[in-house]
Structure 1
Amino acid sequence: MTSRRMAGRLGSTFAPGLATLFSYEARWLPKDVVAGLVLTALLVPQGMAYAELAGLPAITGLYTSILCLLGYALFGPSRILVLGPDSALGPMIAATVLPLVGANGDPARAVALASALALMTGTITVLAGIGKLGFVADLISKPTMIGYMNGLALTILVGQLPKIFGFSVDAESFLGEIAAFVGGVSGGEMVPAALAIGAGGLILILVLQRVAPRIPGVLVVVVLSITAAGVFGLAARGVALVGVLPQGFPPLTVPHVALSDIALLVGGAFGIALVSLADTISTSTAFAARAGRTVDGNREMTGIGVANIAAGLFQGFPVSTSGSRTAVAEQAGAKTQVTGLVGAGAITLILLLAPGLLRNLPQPTLAAVVIAASLSLSDIPGTLRLFRLRRTEFYLSIAAFAGVVAFGVLLGILVAVALSIGNVFRRAWWPYQATLGRVPGIAGYHDISSYPHAEQLTGCRIFRFDAPVFFANARTFREQLTGIARSDPHPKWIIVAAEPITDVDVTAADMLRDLDGTLDAGGTTLVFAEMKDPVRRKLDRYGLIPAIGPSHFFPTLDDAVEAFRRDTGAEWVSPPQGS
């Protein structure tokens, strides 16, 4: 085996992006370079804007963009996925870091805390990837994620409004920010020139996104805003500008934070890791499907984890994927992660050779970029679709939205996770249950609520329970069967159509043992049909099959029905007219 092939094999195992570089084809380079330069036009203003959204100096957004692109290019499995500062994570970072910094805190301390947060997020994600825990991204269901993102979009919008109007507010809650904004406007703090450049930029971005999506609206607005700042002297009119960025590349820095601070950062790191993973895996899956590829969630976790660690070691903050920037790269012809390497190199050259390039960029323009991104987070059509299709999931979405607005982004994500898990538990706790009958002309046995005129066997009820039987729903199962046993006419057999029952835990097994005795004492025989082999083996291990009786377990419903008919001579009968 050649050294190149060996390196490629090792790279595909531990660093998929590096493996791609070993097999890189020269014909891809022109498209990757062009896509990388186009991407840079978005990465620079968005990176700066999202850094400020996170409560950090704008320059840290560029540091973060460079290092996360490098880290993912080497360790990420996706060929074109673009990582970077993200509008969804910005408020979560701010909510975690700014309370530790305090009012008028030292920006250097905020950067150190954010870098430590990135290192913790990256470590959590890498360990989860190594432990093959990619499924954790499924902890947030789509309805609750829609609600969470809608709430996040609204909080970002409200938080950026003062910047569009040219002033700042100091508030700790959603309602407090609204009150402070209204008070600032009514108190005469608004700067007309700031509102003109900010609102005009926002409108132009939204219009270009709608009528000419291939034109980089953010780049157009940045260029026009910088030009307007020079031509109209916006600084003299009270408009805050970005100013000259620090020159050079940040050194390797291990953030110095107190142990007490680390304990407080842990919760934020877990929340950020969860949102980042859910977003990254869903986005990578969507783009991979277009190219006919599949996604390895565990490798994605490792790749994004390394990207976060790389950013954290160079004064950066936590990152996630970006669907919009990935779409831009794809449309520009990106073939591999060399696109990201080109973008990282271009940003580095800006910092080394032209740090004053963006000095006249108005701060309200950055706020406009953030608001435009926040609007893309919201999914009003998706919310209305939930309302039309499934009211329960619509209410879950609204509850997640309210959780973000009422409790903030960090507690909001906990609310979203809790709602998702609670919804799963609710479905298992109160699963769908049905009494089955025979419908002439249709094979099999069917729910009598769907087929009211289905025939039933005299003296026999066929019952289906569409869930595993476990501690939470064992009482529900027992009450349903005892209720059937007390019904009139009194059934001699209750046949449980057990095919949907995927598990029986110890609590449920004890319940079934007691239930069988209770039904027997009342003259009703409990019978199971179509039980899965793994579940039957569990019942055998619990000692239930000998206790209930092996003859009470049938491989199919037809077998159970025919056995009952042989014993009793019962016939199928139609329900009384009008029932």
Structure 2
Amino acid sequence: MGHRDFNEIHHRVEVQIPPTKPFSHTLKSSLKETFFPDDPFKQFKNQSLSRKFLLGFQYFVPILEWAPRYTFEFFKADFIAGITIASLAVPQGISYAGLASLPPVIGLYSSFVPPLIYAMLGSSRDLAVGTVAVPSLLITSMVGKEINPYENTKLYVQLVLTATFFAGVFQASLGLLRLGFIVDFLSHATIVGFMGGAATVVCLQQLKGILGLVHFTHAADLVSVMKSIFGQIHMWRWESGVVGCCFLFFLLITRYFSKRKPVFFWINALAPLTSVILGSVLVYFTHAEKHGIEIIGHLKKGLNPPSVSELASTFGSTHLMMAIKTGIITGVIALAEGIAVGRSFSVFKSYHIDGNKEMIAIGMMNIAGSCTSCYLTTGPFSRTAVNFNAGCKTAVSNIVMATAVMITLLFLTPLFFYTPLVVLSAIIMAAMISVVDYEGAIHLWAVDKFDFVVCISAFIGVVFSSVETGLVIAVVISLLRILLFVARPKTSVMGGLPNSKTYRSIEQYPKANSVPGVLILHINAPVYFANAGYLRERISRWIDEEEDKLKSSAKNDLEYVILDMSSVGSIDTSGISMLEEVKKNVERRCIKLVLANPGGEVMKKLDKSKFIDTIGHEWIYLTVGEAVNACTFMLQTCTPKTKTLEPDHAADDKV
């Protein structure tokens, strides 16, 4: 008796080999899944040429798709939301421009043009566009290393605008080439640690404004900041410290109250503008600027001046490569934050965010912004949360906000003359404190210790070295983890669950029973050149351990090794060579190699390499259960070790 008898008795279903497709078809399919997994062109099928043109235009300019359905009810909601976020955008824009060591008015410019561009091109209904703290810190730490922003302000501003231009080009290129998956290399753990570290450094740097210091380090690491703070104790101004602490306390209290009572979200949203107004009134009536309280001073009135000539003047500069590097790094961070924020809020309203559209929209608004005296913008969480809670319906809220900022630029900038810098520092500190996600770090520790290591590495790298170093450390550790997973895939011994035909890992299910004379191994990864050698050695060790265990217990010899390949999505020539070596190794020990549930791609490769002919069609099974049944059937009907003799191949159908 042999496999023919087993097949006839159990009506075995053979494992099939998928039909071979031309290489061009396979390549096209792979490229499509890589770059077009969402199939954006499905709407173009069976459409007239004019209709295809209209749909294509709507795809790249989404406002043309939803604008015809826009209603007055939507506008009322968007108007309220837009005015609300404008009250936050004005003080934040001025504050973050100062964080980037730029003239305050550039922060207002950056809240005018980019939101208008995003409203036309963006796919998020809730994202509120504006400047953000971490890219602002990155800009001043990278560009400020080469150009002093206070001694050579004009060149510094030109380089920042150039960095913004290249950030936009990079972002839009990723979207057009559909390379959005690159941003996915910034894992959740990386972002938590990186943002927490950057927020910590930002808060520490704001002690300059809180303490009324004039000279301060441009470095972004903890040691440099602490040296700069405590090296100037004699320069601390108690007046500035008192005002700063009072306004910081006010901002934190309003945030706490709004979190406890979400219906009063507007209190927290209006708190920054209220602080600016109260601070300006305080300085005006007390003449505090004469007692150590620095003020903004004159803000240029008028809309964004064009800056194309400034961009052109830096293209031949020796600092161009530094600007490009700054643009790429800050562009990635801005993309990661903007897309993550947009997707987070889209879940609440059950609509889809197109990541590639978002990249194009964010990139184009930064390109347009760099040509109109704006620096890097994206979708900050704080502003988007206010927009969402204010009840926005569409991206028109960004247009309303931009209109309010435009009115501010045209008529209201003189009112900010007496705004104290210490209030702006308090606004930034209050915003950044909420960015330090210590609860997220605790959750990482509880769920995945390796993710926690990535998070802490990013945090420590940012805090003790620089923002760029922390980001690089976190990304490198994340990539090493991926490589480690590929190079050292998980393998496990499987057993049968009691009163079931299911086979699972004995490590996960200790009550699972091993099959006498049969070793079942599960390979939990694709088999490539990077892990083929390790898998060969690991399988050999599993066999050695199983044989030693059987000898010590005086049980039956090991007769069969079943490889469960259900998780092996693909295999290369090195992996096939590994299987051939494993087969030779086990046959020298008078053990038979059996395969269970190989996938379609794996079967095609095994067939083309003639490995199926080598191992025998009858030794490949659809499930682990069938393979175990066949092996136990052979053990019961054959004398020990006779399974190494070749069975009756002619009686079996080909796979």
* Contact 2:74 2:393 survives alignment (8 Å): yes
* Contact 2:297 2:419 survives alignment (8 Å): yes
Displacement after TM superposition at 1:144 (Å) = 1.8
1:13 aligns with 2:59: yes
Q: How many residues align?
A: 567
User: What is the alpha-carbon distance in structure 2 between the residues aligned to residue 495 and residue 16 of structure 1?
Assistant: 54
Displacement after TM superposition at 1:319 (Å) = 1.4
**Matched residue, 1:568:** 635
SS across alignment from 1:377: coil
For residues 88-137 of structure 1, what are the alpha-carbon distances to aligned partners after superposition, in whole Å with 9 as ceiling and x for unaligned?
A: 21111112221231374321211111111111111111111111122222
1:260 to 298, 318, 322: 318
User: What is the alpha-carbon distance in structure 1 between the residues aligned to residue 415 and residue 66 of structure 2?
Assistant: 34
For residues 524-570 of structure 1, what are the alpha-carbon distances to aligned partners after superposition, in whole Å with 9 as ceiling and x for unaligned?
A: 22221011112221232344323333332211112211221222218
User: What is the alpha-carbon distance in structure 2 between the residues aligned to residue 420 and residue 545 of structure 1?
Assistant: 37
User: What is the alpha-carbon distance in structure 2 between the residues aligned to residue 462 and residue 94 of structure 1?
Assistant: 58
Instruction: Flag the structure with larger Rg.
Output: 2
Closer, same or farther: CA 6–471 of 1 in aligned 2, 3 Å: closer
For residues 264-310 of structure 1, what are the alpha-carbon distances to aligned partners after superposition, in whole Å with 9 as ceiling and x for unaligned?
A: 22332222222222212221112111111011111111111111112
Displacement after TM superposition at 1:478 (Å) = 0.9
Instruction: Name the aligned partner's letter for residue 131 of structure 1.
Output: L
User: Over aligned residue pairs, what C-alpha RMSD do you find?
Assistant: 2.2
Displacement after TM superposition at 1:8 (Å) = 6.7
**Matched residue, 1:548:** 615
User: What is the alpha-carbon distance in structure 1 between the residues aligned to residue 247 and residue 421 of structure 2?
Assistant: 11
* Contact 2:280 2:420 survives alignment (8 Å): yes
SS across alignment from 1:320: coil
Instruction: Name the aligned partner's letter for residue 223 of structure 2.
Output: L
User: What is the alpha-carbon distance in structure 2 between the residues aligned to residue 570 and residue 16 of structure 1?
Assistant: 70
Closer, same or farther: CA 211–37 of 1 in aligned 2, 3 Å: same
1:155 to 179, 191, 201: 201
* Contact 2:143 2:322 survives alignment (8 Å): no
For residues 60-98 of structure 1, what are the alpha-carbon distances to aligned partners after superposition, in whole Å with 9 as ceiling and x for unaligned?
A: 111111111011011111122111100121111112221
Displacement after TM superposition at 1:328 (Å) = 1.2
**Matched residue, 2:347:** 289
TM-score of the superposition, structure 1-length normalised? Answer: 0.93
* Contact 1:474 1:508 survives alignment (8 Å): yes
Kindly report which structure 2 residues correspond to 1:167-566, keeping only aligned pairs within 5 A, or say none. Answer: 167=213, 168-172=215-219, 173-185=221-233, 188-213=234-259, 214=265, 215=267, 216-254=270-308, 255=311, 256-257=313-314, 258-486=316-544, 487-488=547-548, 489=550, 490-566=557-633
Displacement after TM superposition at 1:24 (Å) = 2.3
Unaligned runs of 5+ in 1: 572-579
User: What is the alpha-carbon distance in structure 1 between the residues aligned to residue 59 and residue 179 of structure 2?
Assistant: 17
* Contact 1:8 1:22 survives alignment (8 Å): no
* Contact 1:247 1:352 survives alignment (8 Å): yes
SS across alignment from 1:248: coil
* Contact 1:459 1:570 survives alignment (8 Å): no
TM-score of the superposition, structure 2-length normalised? Answer: 0.83
Instruction: Name the aligned partner's letter for residue 296 of structure 2.
Output: V
**Matched residue, 1:49:** 95
SS across alignment from 2:353: coil
Instruction: Name the aligned partner's letter for residue 178 of structure 1.
Output: M
User: What is the alpha-carbon distance in structure 2 between the residues aligned to residue 447 and residue 197 of structure 1?
Assistant: 63
User: What is the alpha-carbon distance in structure 1 between the residues aligned to residue 258 and residue 626 of structure 2?
Assistant: 65
**Matched residue, 1:25:** 71
Q: Percent identity?
A: 27
* Contact 2:110 2:130 survives alignment (8 Å): yes
Range 15-24 or range 271-280, more displaced: 15-24
2:120 to 60, 74, 92: 74
SS across alignment from 1:473: helix
SS across alignment from 1:65: coil
User: What is the alpha-carbon distance in structure 1 between the residues aligned to residue 512 and residue 490 of structure 2?
Assistant: 19
**Matched residue, 2:158:** 112
For residues 352-380 of structure 1, what are the alpha-carbon distances to aligned partners after superposition, in whole Å with 9 as ceiling and x for unaligned?
A: 22220111110011111111121121101
* Contact 1:160 1:367 survives alignment (8 Å): yes
User: What is the alpha-carbon distance in structure 1 between the residues aligned to residue 377 and residue 342 of structure 2?
Assistant: 15
SS across alignment from 2:231: helix
User: What is the alpha-carbon distance in structure 2 between the residues aligned to residue 492 and residue 370 of structure 1?
Assistant: 69
* Contact 2:279 2:423 survives alignment (8 Å): yes
For residues 218-277 of structure 1, what are the alpha-carbon distances to aligned partners after superposition, in whole Å with 9 as ceiling and x for unaligned?
A: 122112111111122110112110112111122222212135322222332222222222
User: What is the alpha-carbon distance in structure 2 between the residues aligned to residue 398 and residue 54 of structure 1?
Assistant: 25
For residues 17-49 of structure 1, what are the alpha-carbon distances to aligned partners after superposition, in whole Å with 9 as ceiling and x for unaligned?
A: 343334322232222222222211111110111
